Amino acid sequence: MQRYEQLDSLRGLAALAVMVGHFLMVFTPIVQNTSGLGLLDYPLNLLKYTPLHAIWGGHEAVIMFFLLSGFVLSLPFFSNRQQTYTKYVIKRICRIYIPFLVALIIAIVMREAVYVSKLTDLTSYYNNLWVIPPDFASIIHHLLFVGNYNTTRYDPILWTLVHEMRISLLFPFIMFVIVKGGWKIGLPLALGLSYGSEILLDHFETRFMTNFVVSLHYAAFFIVGALLAKYQNELKTVFSRLNGWWAMMMLVLALCFYSFKWIGYGEDFHDMFMPHWGDWMTAIGASIFIVAAVSSVRLSRQLQRKPLLFLGKISYSLYLYHMIVLLSLVHLLSGEIDTPYIVMIAFIASFGAGALSYYFVELPSIRLGKRLTGWGKKPVAVSGSLSEGVSSSM
């Protein structure tokens, strides 16, 4: 089965955008609503309310993760190389859940080790993190992915993994429908799940992002990713026919779709699409990026540069640990070092933490999954499927 290294890099860039976004949110000018000010009056709006927001668009990156997961997890089904459901689940647990569990434990330990008092000199988002001490009920919720609970208590990014695991466990059943029905069944199913969840959200308690109804919405993007994989040859043909200028225009259009939530922020036309249909605008842009990455020789070559490939390898761990690193250093060094320097130190340290986790947690977990499912007994055509890379998305 073909390995799409360029998609690993795309996932790495998305994880980097999440980290940049979280680190920028330390600073009040970033989180303030300044959409009423012009670019000349407030130049920072160029980074906030234009397509440049993609550089630090965390939620947009999450949509990209779910599309990539659907793309990669579907490949064995389209090549008739799917495993038994038991083996599939074991691999998912080893690939996603074990690194998640280790990160959760480290987050709790670090919170207990460094937390002294509530931060009051940062933005309200950070002032309310790590404030509540661990308790048994909350830890059980985190371990079982059950209920509508607060995932920001220990590591604020964990909410996406709740949906990732829930949807992954159901994904083989979804693929049975997509393999048989293609886009004629898959696309209406995706739209139906998204629209249905929007209706249900009006009738259910949705205090936190871990409720099961929201999982239905995000499952739609797994389906879209699977459809991109199923029809990739046709999509490659279409994209390859574009000359240089048209291909560039398509990527610019993709960037505008991807960052749509921030273009025209607060305007009436914009608010009509929020929140669920704004995710679909983002998904359109992300889908174009994915198609371009697997179609364009020039773009693919750029995405396969070693630094980007390394970023792709450690992206899951970088995603898991960057907030733990930042919160730990802020609590340790606040009052000793100015906040911008703490953020810079945390930025660098996060890559170190990500690399350590990749080599000492992720890779051993992947190997464990292979041993438990019997993969190590005979060689396979390609060393390591993409499900060990891109599909670990958050």
Which residues are within 8 A (CB) of 123 and not within 5 positions of it... i.e. 6 or more apart?
25, 26, 27, 28, 30, 31
The pLDDT of 174-187, averaged and rounded, is 94
Burial readout 266-282 (b: 16 or more C-beta within 10 A, e: otherwise):
eeeebeeeeeeebbbbb
Asked if the model's pLDDT at residue 144 lies above 90, the reply is no
Q: What percent of the chain has pLDDT over 90?
A: 72
Q: What is the pLDDT of residues 360-387, one digit of tens each?
A: 999 999 999 999 998 545 443 333 333 3
CA distance 389 to 394: 11
Of 1-15, 284-298, 344-358, 369-383, give the lowest mean pLDDT range: 369-383
Query: What range defines the domain where residue 127 resides?
Result: 5-392
Structural domains counted in the chain? 1
The encoded tokens of residue 373 equal 């499912």
pLDDT value of residue 206: 65
Could you tell me the pLDDT band of residue 42, with boundaries at 50, 70 and 90? very high
Which residue's entry shows tokens 């773009």?
A: 299
The pLDDT of 260-286, averaged and rounded, is 83
Pair 68, 225: CB distance under 8 Å: yes
Give DSSP secondary structure letters for 154-204.
T-TTTHHHHHHHHHHHHHHHHHHHHHHHHHHHHHHHHHHHHHHHHHHTTTS
Query: Backbone phi, then psi, for 119, in 5-degree steps?
Result: -75, 135
The encoded tokens of residue 50 equal 């234009």
Average pLDDT of the chain? 89
The count of C-alpha atoms lying within 13 angstroms of the C-alpha of 321, restricted to the half-sphere facing its C-beta, is 25
Question: CA-based Rg of the chain, rounded to a whole angstrom?
Answer: 21
pLDDT value of residue 187: 96
pLDDT value of residue 211: 81
Q: What is the pLDDT of residues 61-106, one digit of tens each?
A: 999 999 999 999 999 999 888 889 999 999 999 999 999 999 999 9
Q: Which residue has the higher pLDDT, 269 or 375?
A: 269
CA distance 252 to 244: 12
Could you tell me the pLDDT band of residue 205, with boundaries at 50, 70 and 90? low
Q: Which of 129-138, 324-333, 368-377 has the highest mean pLDDT?
A: 324-333
CA distance 96 to 393: 9
The count of C-alpha atoms lying within 13 angstroms of the C-alpha of 214, restricted to the half-sphere facing its C-beta, is 19
CB atoms within 10 A of CB 348: 9
Of 107-116, 209-218, 231-240, give the lowest mean pLDDT range: 209-218
pTM of the model: 0.91
The pLDDT of 259-265, averaged and rounded, is 89
Q: Which of 156, 109, 162, 157 is nearest to 133 (CA)?
A: 109
Q: What is the pLDDT of residues 279-321, one digit of tens each?
A: 999 999 999 999 999 999 999 999 999 999 999 999 999 999 9
Find residue 334's DSSP bridge partners.
337
Instruction: Compute CA distances 361 → 123, 229, 306, whole Å.
Output: 32, 29, 22
CA distance 10 to 65: 9
CB atoms within 10 A of CB 288: 20
Q: How far apart are the first and last CA of the chain?
A: 23
Which residues are within 8 A (CB) of 20 and not within 5 positions of it... i.e. 6 or more apart?
55, 56
Give DSSP secondary structure letters for 39-58.
TTT-TTHHHHSSGGGGGG-H
The count of C-alpha atoms lying within 13 angstroms of the C-alpha of 225, restricted to the half-sphere facing its C-beta, is 28
Asked if the model's pLDDT at residue 392 lies above 50, the reply is no
pLDDT value of residue 2: 67
Asked if the model's pLDDT at residue 17 lies above 80, the reply is yes
pLDDT value of residue 303: 95
Instruction: Compute CA distances 33 → 36, 37, 49, 88, 285, whole Å.
Output: 8, 9, 10, 44, 24
The pLDDT of 26-43, averaged and rounded, is 90
Q: Which residue has the higher pLDDT, 245 or 66?
A: 66
Q: What percent of the chain has pLDDT over 70?
A: 92
Which residues are within 8 A (CB) of 43 and not within 5 positions of it... i.e. 6 or more apart?
none
Query: Backbone phi, then psi, for 385, in 5-degree steps?
Result: -75, 170
pLDDT value of residue 203: 77
Which residue's entry shows tokens 């020789």?
A: 297
Asked if the model's pLDDT at residue 390 lies above 70, the reply is no
Find residue 337's DSSP bridge partners.
334
pLDDT value of residue 387: 38
DSSP state of 337: B
Asked if the model's pLDDT at residue 51 lies above 80, the reply is yes
Asked if the model's pLDDT at residue 212 lies above 60, the reply is yes
Pair 57, 259: CB distance under 8 Å: yes
DSSP state of 384: S
The encoded tokens of residue 348 equal 């660098």
